[in-house]
Amino acid sequence: MTEAPWYNKGLFSSLNLRQKTLLTIGLTGLVLFVIFICGWLIDANLPTDFAMKMQAPSFSHPFGTDWMGRDMFIRTIKGLSLSIVIGIGASIISSFIATILAFVASVNKWFDEFVSWLIDLFASIPHILLIMMISIALGKGAFGVIMAVAFSHWVNLTRVLRAEVLQINTSEYVALSNRLGRSKLWIAKEHILPLVLSQIFVGTLLVFPHAIMHEASVTFLGFGLSPHEPAIGIILSESMSYLAMGAWWLAFFPGLALLIVVLLFDIIGDNLKRLLDPGEANN
């Protein structure tokens, strides 16, 4: 009642909030990029120095050192960088699956039923268990984990896209194209895909945090990356053996760093969503 139509002019006429949002996205993205690049530049074979093993955090080793005297800060950065790569891989594949399935669902009623059933099916096995199973089936390792995470995270995005595609399909211009004898594939490519592209993009980003977290979880359980990889899950799983000795820094900092990366991705995803969906920003 108090909301006049002019109230909802969208975000692109509102430079202030837009700039602020873009700035947030830019800065967060930059932090993640720096972590990624740093991790990339670090040699996987970190120097071991048994004289310096199990050091508590200090000025020269902010995150402490492990049982081989390796610097935990460097290991953590390397691990995060790996997490980001796996997160990117898994999210892209999973949104690819989601997009395909959403379009398959739009073909006819039977396909739609089938996709809904598939969604129900995947939602009915506990997530972690599903990831474990897929990872085992694919022989674990980076490939196994990426596929496992990808194949268990398409469900939500598919739901969103399916509804969106369904809505666009009932629109006037799609009906017109149908009458003009355009093929379904042409309509999907020319009309629907451009409209859902932003959703796919945001959806991909929103899968990110989950992908990273689940990768760390299965790796921690021993079904993901191999113990030779410098992954956060491995670091945390290793730390379990030293907890009783009071080496708290082995678990605390790497986990916290992971938490921060997940939060940063969350922030990017949320801000981007607001940028592309101004209706929500008005609240």
166 lies in the site for another protein, by CB under 8 A: no
Provide the mask over 205-224, with x wherever binding to another protein is found by CB under 8 A and - wherever it is not: ----x---x--xx--xxxx-
| Options 258, 268, 272, 275; binder of another protein; rule CB under 8 A | 258
First to last CA, the chain: 15
Q: Please list the residues that pair with 65 across neighbouring strands.
A: 71
φ/ψ of 107, rounded to 5, equals -65, -55
**Residue 218 and residue 46: Cα distance in Å, rounded?**
24
Nearest approach, Cβ of residue 274 and another protein (Å): 12
The residue (of 30 and 259) whose beta carbon lies closer to another protein is 259
Site of tokens 């209706």: 279
Nearest approach, Cβ of residue 45 and another protein (Å): 26
Q: According to DSSP H, which parts of 222-248 are helical?
A: 232-243
97 lies in the site for another protein, by CB under 8 A: no
**Residue 220 and residue 69: Cα distance in Å, rounded?**
21
Q: How many residues bind another protein (CB under 8 A)?
A: 53
The residue (of 165 and 247) whose beta carbon lies closer to another protein is 247
The residue (of 82 and 187) whose beta carbon lies closer to another protein is 82
Q: Is residue 99 classed as helix, strand or coil in its secondary structure?
A: helix
16 lies in the site for another protein, by CB under 8 A: yes
203 lies in the site for another protein, by CB under 8 A: no
Nearest approach, Cβ of residue 12 and another protein (Å): 10
Question: 205 Cβ partners below 8 Å, 6+ apart?
Answer: 91, 265, 268, 269, 272
On whether the CB atoms of residues 154 and 92 are closer than 8 A, the answer is: no
Q: Please list the residues that pair with 71 across neighbouring strands.
A: 65
Provide the mask over 119-158, with x wherever binding to another protein is found by CB under 8 A and - wherever it is not: -xx-xxxxxxx--xxx-xxxx-------------------
Residue 188 carries which DSSP code? I
Closest CA to 234 of 247, 220, 224: 220
Nearest approach, Cβ of residue 77 and another protein (Å): 17
23 lies in the site for another protein, by CB under 8 A: no
Residues that bind another protein (CB under 8 A): 1-2, 4, 6-7, 9, 11, 13-18, 20, 120-121, 123-129, 132-134, 136-139, 209, 213, 216-217, 220-223, 236, 239-240, 243-244, 246, 248, 251-252, 255, 258-259, 262-263, 266
